[in-house]
Structure 1
């Protein structure tokens, strides 16, 4: 099958159980290892090991208060994200765009669809997320999309290999928030 163009147009749907292996591969390729270096979201300089696994994607998919969204082009999954309802706000995570398609606007489209879902389908007026604070370029990308750096942090789960193998000892998560109304 031909690779989608760099400015691929996407259609969205909820992920299914049959998508799990593809989603694990997509998330891994966007953040870890050699393939991640084709895009700008790589965390390979901060973390080795895995970014997610079948168990993590399955849990997100089966969460009754959440949805795994996939973006497709020409029948191929090219991006994904997790959106989870948490009381009066939504949480955005497990966001990945195929590395060779990064930088062409697809990420903005996926983020906008997640915000639309949270606002229009769930009726929440705020989206939250956490980003590794050492990822200044990624934090700046979210700020340009209306997210506010709250100054609130959460510790990185050192010792939990399901989050990866840190290459440094100063990692933490920063909380970002956007009003959706």
Structure 2
């Protein structure tokens, strides 16, 4: 467990456990789906309905070899999370969620920087990879300001698998974003 002071208050980063699964699902759903997600800027409610993840999906990330789900707390309250998965010379960054009421104040920028340090220090990776729904131009632009670059490599959305949501349009795809994370 690491506690890092910062402009948004002291943040505690720890590996999530199975006991955190329900709270993590609630956090992730609140950041991306339904009316509660509309109070933040990361909502996907215009693109997808249904769930973003479920207990089994969260537990799979927590329990997978070479995978970590970082829980981020402020004053003992869960306010964010992100997945790190070791993939050779790269780490995959995913399942990133910040509570809607905590968005817009620089918290996401701090968490992604800590995730990059954690991946580099834990696994010695050279790059961070992530996939973002291609139609989320505002979110992709935010990641580009953090040093990620679009690769043009696209992956299909899992249409027909409601574990990942119910698409509201027929053209959804994921794009791979990449960032070098070498250095101190």
Q: Specify every segment of 5 or more residues in structure 2 that has no aligned partner in the other structure, as ranges.
A: 1-6
2:20 aligned residue:
19
1:179 aligned residue:
180
2:147 aligned residue:
146
Matches within 5 A, 1:33-112: 33-112=34-113
Q: Deviations over 1:97-156 (max 9, x none)?
A: 000000111111111111001111110010000000000000000000000100110011
Give the distance between the partners of 2:145 and 2:10, measured in 1 at CA: 22
Give 1:9 shift: 3.4
1:3 aligned residue:
none
CA contact (8 A) 1:133 1:174 kept: yes
Q: Specify every segment of 5 or more residues in structure 1 that has no aligned partner in the other structure, as ranges.
A: 1-5
Q: TM-score, normalised by structure 2?
A: 0.94
Give 1:88 shift: 1.5
Give 1:8 shift: 4.2
CA contact (8 A) 1:8 1:106 kept: no
SS at the partner of 1:28?
helix
1:137 aligned residue:
138
Large movers: runs of 4+ above 6 Å:
none
CA contact (8 A) 1:52 1:163 kept: yes
Give the distance between the partners of 1:36 and 1:14, measured in 2 at CA: 24
Q: TM-score, normalised by structure 1?
A: 0.95
**Aligned-pair Cα RMSD in Å:** 1.0
